[in-house]
Amino acid sequence: MYSTSPIYLVVIGAMIVSWLIQWRLRSKFAKYAQIGLKSGLTGRQIAELMLADHGITDVKVISTEGRLSDHYNPADKTVNLSESVYAERSAAAAAVAAHECGHAVQHATAYSMLQFRSAMVPALSAVSRFMPFILLAGVLMLRTTLIPLGVGIALFSLTTLFSFVTLPVEFDASRRALAWIDKRGIVTSQEHAMAKDALWWAAMTYVVAAISSLATLLYYVSIFMGSRDRR
């Protein structure tokens, strides 16, 4: 009989690590948000300056509700900064604002991995609506047929692929952000280290999410294989 317990433990372990990294990320940003930026620039000003330096004139910087809700929207070309980052003058705000503008620069320069990820979004939006129900049906119907679970696994593999494609996109945006704030003199060497640390922890949330997605996929695959072997 094919045992699923080792993979099940990996899934649980990934969930615990994810929670710990989220906690660490929040604490890091809370700490660095208390340290004023010597340049005195707000997150909004930093974002607008980075866009201008890269010749991007069709992207707006706007404030959005929530904490750590910052993101770049390629559909309407907006850099959405959470209220604290938008108005804050700190190493944390500088890191986040520049990182999101890094995505805007990727979009403007047709960065291949961002294009690949964006191309996957429509399919994933459709899949995410019914994939959980297909997986559930597949598990419940194991005694009669493996088809629903097989279909669910195929669909879930797309979300896993998406999570791994996201990794180079996020790391590249952070690389662009750190290089620019350093070259532009936005931060001191000490503030640069803080910004780099904050972005590293943010990136780790994507790494753990990808690993967790892969572990979950393998868990369903192990159920499928175990059921097939028992037939």
Specify the pLDDT at position 6. Answer: 63
**Helix 147-183 vs helix 91-108: crossing angle, to nearest 10:** 110
Radius of gyration (Cα) for the chain, nearest Å? 21
Specify the pLDDT at position 176. Answer: 97
Specify the pLDDT at position 3. Answer: 47
> Domain range holding 67?
5-229
Specify the pLDDT at position 96. Answer: 95
Specify the pLDDT at position 226. Answer: 83
Quick check: 91 and 35 in contact, CB under 8 A? yes
Specify the pLDDT at position 228. Answer: 76
Specify the pLDDT at position 2. Answer: 43
Q: Are strands 71-73 and 78-82 parallel, antiparallel or unpaired?
A: antiparallel
Specify the pLDDT at position 200. Answer: 95
Total domains, the chain: 1
Specify the pLDDT at position 148. Answer: 94
Q: DSSP label at 69?
A: -
Looking at the DSSP bridge assignments, the partners of residue 62 are 80
Give the C-alpha separation, 27 to 18, whole Å.
14
Give the three-class secondary structure for 79. strand
- Convert the pLDDT of each residue in 177-214 to its tens digit: 999 999 999 999 999 999 999 999 999 999 989 988 99
User: Which residue has 């340049």 as its token pair?
Assistant: 39
Per-residue pLDDT of the chain (231 residues; tens, 9 = 90+): 444 456 667 777 878 888 898 898 889 988 998 888 999 999 999 999 999 999 999 999 999 998 878 999 998 999 999 998 999 999 999 999 999 999 999 999 999 999 999 999 999 988 888 999 999 999 899 888 999 999 999 999 999 999 999 999 999 999 999 999 999 999 999 999 999 999 999 999 999 899 889 988 988 998 898 887 666
Specify the pLDDT at position 5. Answer: 55
